[in-house]
């Protein structure tokens, strides 16, 4: 990819110095879904698939963004990063030309937008000596997305992409931003990512709806409880105070948040003990909660996870990301992974009527390559 991108760069912008090339991955969330805006704990990791950017300075002050094979509307992300930098007082003069390419499927729930934002911020910080830490890059890119792209996402995606570490997932407390890299030491198992190839059309409006339902549930609980976020509650405290939530839908949304947060804590401790079977069972429970209480799944995601769960060698499977389409993550015994992927995709096609796809490989932090 690097060589091809460099060649294309020189073709488009002319010879006159080789560009620097940078990479940032996508992300997959292992467990802890739809709770990064309720102060919950999440457990994502960066992917080996991601975004490549080639950058070179320009003497005339112009700033040019071009892409290879990236769909329309992508320029708003780098522009948003520049605006967020200005807003944060990170001003740098100087022009540049940027060529973007990637191997991450777009709109598949693997955070292609966070990957692009982080890759751009990281590249500019390095090229212009801005010295922005990776953690600040994550926060800056979340601001870019919230204030300038207009998507009110939580911090998980940008954090997972900017703060990834090879061979590890990130145990992140989205309330305090404390985090820990946890080695995915899974000799016997691996993660498979299966794509429904259903684009997440509804996801933005439904995403905002879920956020406000959680806010409403929180307000109700605050009448009696001194809490700032839903995920501060234990399951017992939640059950004891659930009657405060006046709306049955909001009650189910809040229940998902509280129980999902607990599952994340448990999952991380099970990983430490090497109990992958129990980890997988929590992934299944997470999916059921997202399907029934949070209602962010869809037929394709349910079919795909059902097919997976029926197969020998699959320890657990759940939707990952915002939902309403996109991808599933499954924990699978390593020696059966190939067969599981093939059989799953075949059965998926025969039930749903179109192809899915399978991706493998976790990655690390953004880097110059």
Residue located via tokens 């909001």: 250
Give backbone dihedrals phi and psi of 41, rounded to 5 degrees, phi first: -100, 140
Q: How far apart are CA 369 and CA 365, in angstroms?
A: 12
Contact 121, 133 (CB under 8 A): no
Residue whose C-alpha is closest to residue 323's, from 298, 293, 289:
298
Residue whose C-alpha is closest to residue 254's, from 240, 271, 242, 266:
242
> Among 34-42, 79-87, 163-171, 184-192, which window interacts with ligand GLA (CB under 6 A)?
34-42
CB of 207 to ligand GLA, least distance (A): 7
Residue 157: active-site member? yes
**Which one of residues 25, 36, 116, 256 is an interface residue with ligand GLA (CB under 6 A)?**
36
Report the residue number, 55 or 156, with the smaller CB distance to ligand GLA: 156
CB of 351 to ligand GLA, least distance (A): 26
Q: How far apart are CA 257 and CA 240, in angstroms?
A: 16
33 binds ligand GLA (CB under 6 A): yes
44 binds ligand GLA (CB under 6 A): no
Q: Which residues contact 7 (CB under 8 A, 6 or more apart)?
A: none
144 binds ligand GLA (CB under 6 A): no
Cβ neighbours of 102 (radius 10 Å): 25
Report the residue number, 99 or 111, with the smaller CB distance to ligand GLA: 111
326 binds ligand GLA (CB under 6 A): no
322 binds ligand GLA (CB under 6 A): yes
Q: Between residue 150 and residue 189, which ones bind ligand GLA under the rule CB under 6 A?
A: 153-154, 156-157
> Among 26-34, 61-69, 84-92, 278-286, which window interacts with ligand GLA (CB under 6 A)?
26-34
Residue located via tokens 């992958």: 276
**Catalytic residue numbers?**
157
Residues that bind ligand GLA (CB under 6 A): 29, 33-34, 36-37, 153-154, 156-157, 321-322
């Amino acid at each position: 990819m690097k060589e091809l991108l460099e060649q294309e760069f020189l073709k488009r912008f002319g010879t006159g110095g080789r560009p620097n090339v940078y990479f940032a991955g996508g992300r997959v969330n292992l467990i802890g879904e739809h709770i990064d805006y309720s102060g919950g704990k999440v457990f994502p990791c960066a992917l080996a698939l991601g975004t490549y950017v080639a950058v070179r300075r320009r003497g005339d002050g112009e700033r040019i963004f071009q892409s290879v094979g990236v769909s329309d509307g992508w320029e708003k992300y780098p522009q948003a990063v520049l605006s967020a930098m200005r807003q944060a007082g990170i001003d740098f003069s100087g022009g540049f030309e940027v060529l973007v390419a990637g191997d991450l499927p777009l709109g598949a729930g693997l955070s292609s937008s966070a990957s692009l934002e982080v890759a751009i911020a990281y590249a500019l910080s390095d090229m212009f000596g801005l010295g922005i830490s990776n953690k600040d890059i994550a926060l800056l890119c979340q601001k870019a997305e919230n204030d300038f792209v207009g998507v009110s996402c939580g911090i998980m995606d940008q954090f997972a992409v900017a703060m990834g570490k090879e061979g590890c997932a990130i145990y992140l407390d989205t309330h305090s931003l404390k985090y820990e890299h946890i080695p995915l030491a899974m000799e016997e198992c691996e993660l498979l990512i299966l794509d429904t190839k259903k684009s997440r059309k509804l996801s933005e409006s439904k995403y905002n709806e879920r956020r406000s339902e959680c806010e409403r549930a929180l307000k109700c609980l605050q009448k009696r409880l001194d809490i700032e976020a839903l995920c501060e509650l234990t399951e017992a405290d939640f059950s004891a105070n659930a009657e405060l939530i006046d709306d049955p839908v909001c009650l189910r949304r809040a229940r998902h948040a509280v129980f999902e947060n607990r599952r994340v804590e448990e999952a991380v401790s099970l990983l430490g003990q090497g109990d992958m079977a129990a980890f997988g069972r929590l992934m299944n429970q997470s999916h059921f909660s997202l399907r029934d209480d949070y209602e962010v799944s869809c037929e394709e995601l349910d079919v795909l996870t059902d097919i997976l769960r029926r197969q020998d060698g699959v320890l657990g499977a759940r939707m990952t990301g915002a939902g309403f389409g996109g991808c599933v993550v499954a924990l699978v015994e390593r020696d059966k992974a190939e067969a599981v992927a093939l059989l799953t995709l075949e059965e998926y096609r025969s039930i749903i009527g179109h192809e899915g796809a399978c991706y493998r490989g976790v990655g690390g932090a953004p880097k110059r390559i």
